[in-house]
Amino acid sequence: MKRRPIILVTNDDGIYAPGIRALVHMMNTLGEVYVIAPNQHKSGISHAITMDTILYCESVKIDNGIQKEWKCSGTPVDCVKIAINNILPKKPDICVSGINHGSNSSINVIYSGTLSAVIEAGIYGIPAIGFSLLDTQWNKDFYYISSLKEEICKIVKKVINYYDSNKIIILNVNIPKLEKKKKIKGIKICKQAKSKWKGFFERRTNPRGKNYYWLSGNFIVDNHQIDNTDDEWALNNGYISIVPIKFDFTDYSLLELLNSWNLIILFIYFIRNF
């Protein structure tokens, strides 16, 4: 009898969020599911880890599901670390994170706790996928997420069944927000669009007269450089976008240039003369 794959599920919206509950139910059809997720909202926390306080991880029972679940006081990355090192009976076959309430396309990947969780899994050599829905409504009924169960599960199965010891797959999957009468056009494999957040802090005053600041900002896409190979184009045109990502931040295009600067020779000269 073929062994059912071990699937680690996490997120950054918290273990009780509708998005992760939908994803857990989908993953139960594919394998043996373990859920280790934050006990509260941890969105936008990126790759933060807990170092200066105690970390709690408590077993919970939610939705009368067949999966085993733990709520963790730490970050999404903490959840992945403690799952792999302390909770799971063996290394998972895949880690899935989400379904996030809001976009994680383009530059959002560097701020996202959802994506940092799957990147952490990739560091451990585990294939991983982050799923996000471009809708921040907490009580979203996921009416077309349910209809996309087959597509979501197909992506997960493809990644589970792929094996190459020299290549770890990490995917950033975003699902567009559509009206009920409209349907997803399909799936597009994309690159990350060029974009940025133009942030600013609103200065406010609390009832006691003390000033405080609230982060706000505008999401800006460089429309002059966007085309149909970018994730923002795909999402704006009704497609699910899939962007392969990695945790190697080396800019290989600059290696040759930096080597041409002879920085080592300059450093030796500096040491000898000073």
Which of 6-10, 84-88, 150-154 is the least confident region?
150-154
> Nearest-5° angle of CA 29, CA 98, CA 36?
75
Residue 130 has pLDDT above 70, yes or no: yes
Domains of the chain: residue spans and CATH: 6-193+227-273 (3.40.1210.10)
The CA dihedral of 78, 68, 99, 12, to the nearest 10 degrees, is -20
- Rounded alpha-carbon distances, angstroms, from residue 152 to 16, 133, 148: 20, 12, 6
The rounded mean pLDDT for the chain is 89
Residue-level pLDDT at 47: 95
Residue 195 — very low, low, confident or very high, per pLDDT cuts 50/70/90?
A: confident
Q: What is the mean pLDDT of residues 172-200?
A: 86
Residue 261 — very low, low, confident or very high, per pLDDT cuts 50/70/90?
A: confident
Which of 14-23, 128-137, 178-187 is the least confident region?
178-187
Q: Before 99, cis peptide (omega within 30)? A: yes
- Of 22, 139, 11, give the one whose Cα is nearest residue 75: 11
Which of 130-139, 140-149, 198-207, 210-219 is the least confident region?
140-149
Residue-level pLDDT at 141: 59
Residue 133 has pLDDT above 60, yes or no: yes
Q: DSSP string covering 232-271, please?
A: HHHHHTTEEEEEE--S----GGGHHHHHHTTHHHHHHHHH
Using one digit for the tens of pLDDT, what is the confidence trace for 139-185? 665 656 777 888 899 999 999 999 777 889 999 999 998 776 678 89
Residue-level pLDDT at 265: 63
Burial of 145 (0-12, 13-18, 19+ CB in 10 A): buried
Give me the count of residues in the chain. Answer: 274
Residue 117 has pLDDT above 90, yes or no: yes
Question: What percent of the chain shows pLDDT beyond 90?
Answer: 68
Residue-level pLDDT at 2: 73
Which of 125-129, 140-144, 253-257 is the least confident region?
140-144
Tell me if 145 sits within 8 A of 174, measured CB to CB: no
Residue-level pLDDT at 183: 82
